[in-house]
Amino acid sequence: MGFKMGIVGLPNVGKSTLFNALTKTAAAQAANFPFCTIEPNVGEVAVPDARLDKLAEIAGSKQIIPTRMTFVDIAGLVKGASQGEGLGNQFLANIREVDAIAHVLRCFEDGDITHVEGRVDPVADAETIETELMLADLESIEKRRANLVRKLKGNDKEAQQQDRLLAAAQAAIEDGKPARVVEVDAEDLKAWKMLQLLTTKPVLYVCNVAEEDAAEGNAFSEAVAKMAAEQGNSHVVISARIEEEISQLDPEEAEMFLSEMGLEEAGLDRLIRAGYELLHLETYFTVGPKEARAWTIRQGTAAPQAAGVIHGDFEKGFIRAETIAFDDYIACKGETGAKEAGKMRAEGKGYIVKDGDVMHFLFNT
């Protein structure tokens, strides 16, 4: 399982440029006018993980298969989108389909690139988008609660739970806060997710800075960092222009270019890592002579459910998981060495998979 991240923001903040760079395609037209992205462009990218290369080298794997994540480039929202302004509600619907929101904010000055509001103020831009999402949620909540009245009169338990959760979200939004601030009990989590409210999506602020600010950021990105910290959200600093240039280079050239720019790694790596942390994801590996492969799971996933990511039959017929910690696999130079050193463990159904585990599942067909 990978995850799907929607790239949102006001027009002309660098969303499509970033999308093109991340997916190494020109599928999203990056042009200097609003609404150049009419349909949401979808691109899949391999998740970079240096551990996978090390495992493949030791095992002599013929093929390396990284896990993947999906980016969805969603057209620029404007003030009034919740009321149908700009291209309106169709984009709000696209946001419902993603796991998290990468909110691109313009943190650069450039007289040649117009700003839809005629000024550069990333914090105000963030508030504009958040307000539109909150207004869209509020309208949705009011309609849904009105539709539940008849079922509530009949003491329908499911309707009661839904109305209670919708009321909590409504109270938060009317207080000027997104629905993600609502504390939800474990027994309500599934129903809460089913509501698919826009402001429950985790947010990662992406500060798009000029090339010269890519290493240290600037006053604009510092203001965003302060806002993100106050909200309990994350942020990353990226130059979409640099990412676009890197995407055209081979790995060796890209490394030299990054070094010249004073950067240790590409923005894509930081963005994915921040996304993983945001969604509480981690990676386990399967390794053999045929292939070395990475698999994405949520933190806290038990072994049978981790096996189910590969195939449903693995989960249904799960017997046990032969498990080696990544560091042990490397130190023992592979599976045989790990076995001999007593570092391979047989784990049962209750085992919670750890990030970096190298696993082999035994199951009944």
Render 135-176 in DSSP notation, one character per residue.
HHHHHHHHHHHHHTHHHHHTT-HHHHHHHHHHHHHHHHHHTT
Q: Is 208 annotated as belonging to a binding site?
A: no
Dihedral (C-alpha) 142, 82, 15, 181: value to the nearest 10 degrees? -30
> Could you give the 3-state DSSP secondary structure of residue 106?
strand
Residue among 148, 205, 150, 142 at smallest CA distance from 169:
142
> What tokens were used for 153?
């009169």
User: What 3 state SS string does 281-348 have?
Assistant: EEEEEEECCCEEEEEEEECCCEHHHHHHHHCHHHHHCEEEEEEECHHHHHHCCCHHHHHHCCCCEEEC
Residue type for position 78: V
Tokens of 206: 């992406």
The per-residue b/e assignment along 94-124, b for 16 or more CB within 10 angstroms, e otherwise, is: bbeebbbbbbbbbbbeeeeeebbeeebbbee
Distance from C-alpha of 246 to C-alpha of 253, rounded to nearest angstrom: 8
CA 51/CA 326 separation, integer angstroms? 8
DSSP 362: E
| 221 known member of a binding site | no
Residue with tokens 């109270």: 171
The annotation status of 140 as a binding-site residue, yes or no, is no
Specify which residues 297 forms β-bridges with: 282
14 is in an annotated binding site: yes
Q: Is 12 annotated as a binding residue?
A: yes
Binding-site residue ranges for ATP: 12-17
Binding-site residue ranges: 12-17
